[in-house]
């Protein structure tokens, strides 16, 4: 899978921009605040219909315009795709795939597979469980439409259950109904997450071993608020019943996939609490490159890799690993200079200069 062309109209600081990309390495170089990340953001948006930087779509529209437009032409082994997205100032969006309008985001997810690695991804290791859950949900959603559907339904029912819990007089009969509905989707969500963690261990350990020259071992462990994972549905229902008084008092649902997490261990030590900055960066690198391999295993094609100003953050060994591991993968890199990249760029690589929302080739 690879991007053939991207067009941006009135997208952030781009008034009218079209770029043809090469199938290998593409470098967007320029000073800070020129619009390099905006290009990667638009590519990412075509995969998930959301930005990796903001939850407010209206921020993607140029200040002087009422809407922005992204068009992405994607080459695939079977059927090429073109994704067209209009984003309006009021936050609404209209999406077409090969000129056919789609009505649900779930119809877009998986059309264009992408893995992004940015400095903010350190949060996967360092910050709250919600960040790690989001990572799992995004990766699984682009690989499994049933997972995406189950997650949407689970969150919808969860919100309805929490609304009941916030009422002055809680309707217990409604909680019974919601508990049963939640358990159906929770079982599938947790099982798929555990399978993904198993794959993350399978590939992540190999990647981490290569980066650290065998000096470190990484391991991922799923942490569930559901007591028994042998019979998830039964255990979840029992937990909801046991915690019902607590839930009514707190006015929220205290257990379920929305409370789960996963642990990142390096040499059996919790990387979040005790890992060095270097170890945490290596852990994220291992996660991202494992994700690439997982997508290749499942879809038969590598996704597009987006590297947003991360190479300057990596030491020599980690940078070398990244740049020598992307031979078969279309990679889009943003940076302020290419001095450290020149020995890894061949005649197939394309370099673009970005200056104030204009691409210079």
DSSP labels, 138-167 = HHHHTT-HHHHHHHHHHHHHHHHHHHHHTS
User: Dihedral of the CA atoms 40, 45, 46, 47 (nearest 10)?
Assistant: 100
38 is in an annotated binding site: no
Return the pLDDT at 36: 92
Is residue 234 within 8 Å of 136, Cβ to Cβ?
Answer: no
Return the pLDDT at 342: 79
Q: Which two tokens stand for residue 314?
A: 């990596």
Q: What is the mean pLDDT of the chain?
A: 93
Q: Would you say the C-alpha torsion 158, 163, 164, 166 has a positive or negative sign?
A: positive
Is residue 284 within 8 Å of 308, Cβ to Cβ?
Answer: no
pLDDT beyond 90 at 337:
no
Q: Which helix (H) or strand (E) holds 240?
A: helix 232-242
Confidence of residue 39 (pLDDT cuts 50, 70, 90): very high
Q: Which helix (H) or strand (E) holds 319?
A: helix 316-324
Return the pLDDT at 348: 85
Alpha-carbon distance of 345 to 208, in angstroms, equals 24
Return the pLDDT at 326: 87
Determine the 3-state secondary structure of 2 from DSSP.
Answer: strand
35 is in an annotated binding site: yes
Beta-carbon contacts of residue 127 (< 8 Å; ≥ 6 apart)? none
pLDDT beyond 80 at 340:
no
18 is in an annotated binding site: no
171 is in an annotated binding site: no
Confidence of residue 19 (pLDDT cuts 50, 70, 90): very high
- Name which of 46-60, 217-231, 266-280, 309-323 the model is least confident about: 309-323
Which of 78-82, 255-259, 326-330 is modeled with the greatest confidence? Answer: 255-259
Closest CA to 282 of 323, 261, 313, 327: 313
Residue at token pair 């967007």 = 28
Return the pLDDT at 20: 95
Confidence of residue 324 (pLDDT cuts 50, 70, 90): confident
Is residue 278 within 8 Å of 314, Cβ to Cβ?
Answer: no
pLDDT beyond 80 at 339:
no
Residues 157-192 as b/e (b if ≥16 CB within 10 A, e otherwise) read bbeebeebbeeeeeeeeebeebbebbbebbbbbbeb
What's phi and psi for 3, nearest 5 deg? -85, 125
Alpha-carbon distance of 301 to 295, in angstroms, equals 7
Rounded to an integer, the average pLDDT of 139-149 is 94
pLDDT beyond 90 at 167:
yes
pLDDT beyond 80 at 361:
no
Return the pLDDT at 311: 83
- The three-point CA angle 152-45-160 to 5° equals 20
Confidence of residue 38 (pLDDT cuts 50, 70, 90): very high
Helix, strand, coil fractions of the chain, as percent rounded to 5 = 45, 25, 30
Q: Which two tokens stand for residue 217?
A: 């071992």
Is residue 47 within 8 Å of 141, Cβ to Cβ?
Answer: no
32 is in an annotated binding site: yes
Rounded to an integer, the average pLDDT of 86-95 is 92
33 is in an annotated binding site: yes
76 is in an annotated binding site: no
pLDDT beyond 90 at 283:
yes
pLDDT beyond 80 at 192:
yes
Confidence of residue 298 (pLDDT cuts 50, 70, 90): very high
pLDDT beyond 80 at 108:
yes
Comparing 105 with 198, which gets the higher pLDDT? Answer: 198
pLDDT beyond 90 at 85:
yes
Rounded to an integer, the average pLDDT of 24-53 is 92
pLDDT beyond 90 at 290:
yes
Return the pLDDT at 119: 86
pLDDT beyond 80 at 344:
no
31 is in an annotated binding site: yes
Confidence of residue 6 (pLDDT cuts 50, 70, 90): very high
- The three-point CA angle 301-307-308 to 5° equals 145
Confidence of residue 7 (pLDDT cuts 50, 70, 90): very high
Is residue 62 within 8 Å of 10, Cβ to Cβ?
Answer: yes
Confidence of residue 312 (pLDDT cuts 50, 70, 90): confident
Return the pLDDT at 99: 94
């Amino acid at each position: 899978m690879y991007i053939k062309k991207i067009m941006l109209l009135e997208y952030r600081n781009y008034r009218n921009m079209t770029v043809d990309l090469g199938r290998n390495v593409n470098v967007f170089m320029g000073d800070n605040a020129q619009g390099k990340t905006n290009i990667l953001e638009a590519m990412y948006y075509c995969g998930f219909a959301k930005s990796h930087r903001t939850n407010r779509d209206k921020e993607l529209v140029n200040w002087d315009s009422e809407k922005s437009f992204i068009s992405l032409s994607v080459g695939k082994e079977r059927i090429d795709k073109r994704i067209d997205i209009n984003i309006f100032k009021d936050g609404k969006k209209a999406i077409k795939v090969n000129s056919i309008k789609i009505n649900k985001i779930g119809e877009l997810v998986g059309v264009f597979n992408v893995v992004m690695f940015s400095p903010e991804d350190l949060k996967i290791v360092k910050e709250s469980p919600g960040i790690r859950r989001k990572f799992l949900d995004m990766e699984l959603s682009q690989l499994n439409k049933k997972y995406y559907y189950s997650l949407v339904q689970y969150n919808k029912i969860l919100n309805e259950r929490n609304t009941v819990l916030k009422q002055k007089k809680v309707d217990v009969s409604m909680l019974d109904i919601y508990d049963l509905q939640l358990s159906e989707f929770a079982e599938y969500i947790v099982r798929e997450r555990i399978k993904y963690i198993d794959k993350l261990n399978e590939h992540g350990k190999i990647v981490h071993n290569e980066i650290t020259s065998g000096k470190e071992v990484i391991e991922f462990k799923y942490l569930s608020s559901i007591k028994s994972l042998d019979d998830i549905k039964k255990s979840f229902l029992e937990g909801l019943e046991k915690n019902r008084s607590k839930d009514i008092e707190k006015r929220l649902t205290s257990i379920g996939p929305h409370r789960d997490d996963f642990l990142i261990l390096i040499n059996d030590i919790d990387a979040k609490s005790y890992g060095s900055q270097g170890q945490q960066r290596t852990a994220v690198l291992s996660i991202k490159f494992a994700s690439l391999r997982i997508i290749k295993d499942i879809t038969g094609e590598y996704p597009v890799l987006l590297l947003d100003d991360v190479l300057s953050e990596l030491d020599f060994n980690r940078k070398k690993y990244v740049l020598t591991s992307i031979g078969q993968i279309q990679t889009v890199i943003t940076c302020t200079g290419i001095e450290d990249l020149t020995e890894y760029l061949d005649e197939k690589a394309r370099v673009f200069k970005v200056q104030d929302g204009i691409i210079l080739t």
